[in-house]
Chain A
Amino acid sequence: MAEAADVQRTNRWYGIAGVSFCCIGVGVLAGSPVLVLAGVVAVGFAFADRIDSEPNHAIDISRSLSTATPTAGEEVTVTLRITNRSESICYDCRAVDGVPPALAVSDGSPRLGRPLAPGGTVTTEYTITATRGVHEFDDCWISIGNATGTLIRQFRVPVMGQSSVSCVPPAPQPVELALYGQAVGSTGRIATQSGGSGTEFHAVREYRRGDPPSRIDWNRAASTGELSTIEYVRERAATVVVVVDARAQAYCNADPDGQPAIERAIAGAHAITEGLLRTTNRVGVSALSPTECWLEPSTGDDHRSQLRKLFGTHPALQPIAPTEPYLPITMLTQLRHRLPSDAQVVLCTPLADSYPALAGRRLMAHGYPTTIVSPDPTISVDDDSDAPRVAVAALERAERVRSLRNDGIRCLDWRDESIQVSVERAVRRWSR
């Protein structure tokens, strides 16, 4: 039921008594009885809030959604139904639905204003465009007023029916990010310094008992009569933990109406994990966030669907910036203790401040080869007044990228192109 709310006076007719006395005074001075009469008309409104009854209507609200699990970009129709449960007319009923802040209303209005007959119901529809994440609707704000508009009562009403939208993005186009040459035992795509089974030639050695016949160099055996074994570059799978910077600073954007940088960071992280899983690497996910987020490195289809759900709906990666404090050193230490000893780290961050660069350096120093994937949040700015501020932010960020590269940390500066193009360009640069 609705929270209790006091009646407020709107003071709508504040000053009407002055008008009345003005009319009566001028009428008396000028000997004009009609002006005195006009003053009488006005004086009635001075007491309107005393005459009229208080608005005490019981209002019920229900909400229904065309779908509670839309795909990203799908339009969801929200139907809001407001009922006057009392036995008197509500002359002025206004409602504002608690639309989740990260969702844009694409059609209609989540606001409604109508008089409501006793037992009467009014319905409004509006459309929201779904975006990644779990979005909770808030209570509905209600304002009811009396007939003369002199008294109002404002309160929040819990809404019956559906109250959340959960949107898991589709699997992205996989991105094959080049990893450092560190690997674990199982077969994969990371080239190691040692020879073994694989596809790329590494060396020829003496035949040892038990070598598979397919790796014996039969040409050499035919010409020299000695058996030798061909070794290929051993390809192994890596353990990679993709870490998303989900602190409040990562929700920045040069364009206030555009999507925050973290959305690109999450999309990039998702595409990279898809690419890594495709090449049989073990992939885990974590976040630099006040909310704990950790998924153990693993592989397989079940793990892939877990990752997809995590990137779509995990509370640490919500579309709205966290308000809880982030403890930078504690959280980083916690992450470091969780990382498997042979893990590589891919840190997806817009590098909006110096902390992610520090985190990257610390991880590298503790023996975790770290690659930073950084969506640039300073690329689009429509408002000229913001241009100097954004220019300074861009300079600071460029300096962070340069400094990380100088320290030997791979840093992918992802500008306005697709992640695939950006990764391809970076991989070419790293392989030089």
Chain B
Amino acid sequence: MELTKNITLGVYLPGKSFIHNLDPRTKIIAATIIIILLLLSRSYAAFAVSALFIGSLMVLSGIPTGYALRGLKPMLPVLVIMWIFQLFLFKEPGATIYFHWWIFEATEAGLHMGNLIILRVLFLFTVTTFLTLTTSVVSLTDGLESLLKPLRMIGLPSQELVMTLVIALRFVLILAEELEKIIKAQMARGVAFDRGNFIQKTRKIFPVFLPLFIGAFKRAEELIVAMDARSYTGGRGRTKMKTLHMGRVDLTAAAGMTAYSGLLIYIIIFTKPMI
């Protein structure tokens, strides 16, 4: 059992493309806008425009499309099941019935509903994967911290919140090593984790969880003492070693995003939704 080997936090693919060179703040804002627009999209035209836009971003980034969509593979069966559920179970009075079998009816409304949710999920998934593929976790947290900074004025401790995220990301790997030791130690004592029925398997979780949590809390207490000893006071007066800079590329990106969002908002308002 090699837990630490298989851990990938984000699937960042380093590169020097236009998209890679963008400021992380630009990418976070753009991704947020695209996600909101996708959540509001209800027509085939809107999804077609988004497909063109996201497709061209992918070409610009130089990331192989096959690689970007690899993560979708394990989800395909669930997507198909979700589509079938909608096709047969979505009810709307007066909808055209395509075929009828026993208690099941495939209606036109169900077909459109199925298509809508599948398209939405596929696009949302592509956008989040694309963001993590082109932006490292470190620059994502840096960008997030800088974007949340103005919220300090309304009393939100933004830097402290980002600090919790940074601690979480740092500790995943440390705790993974600890978890591996615990599992190996229990296996050496004869616990067979892959055998038994549902209840027996669940009971084997307990001797792993307890040492894991206790170990984690011990580390937490140590870290608290260490941070207190160094007088950590949150974000006040703190400077950064690497500062973020918006450049020409970000301006170009902003222009592109404005054109895309303008067009999509027009489509969302004036096109007849599919359902």
Same complex for A and B? Answer no
**Interface of B with A (CB < 8 Å)?**
none
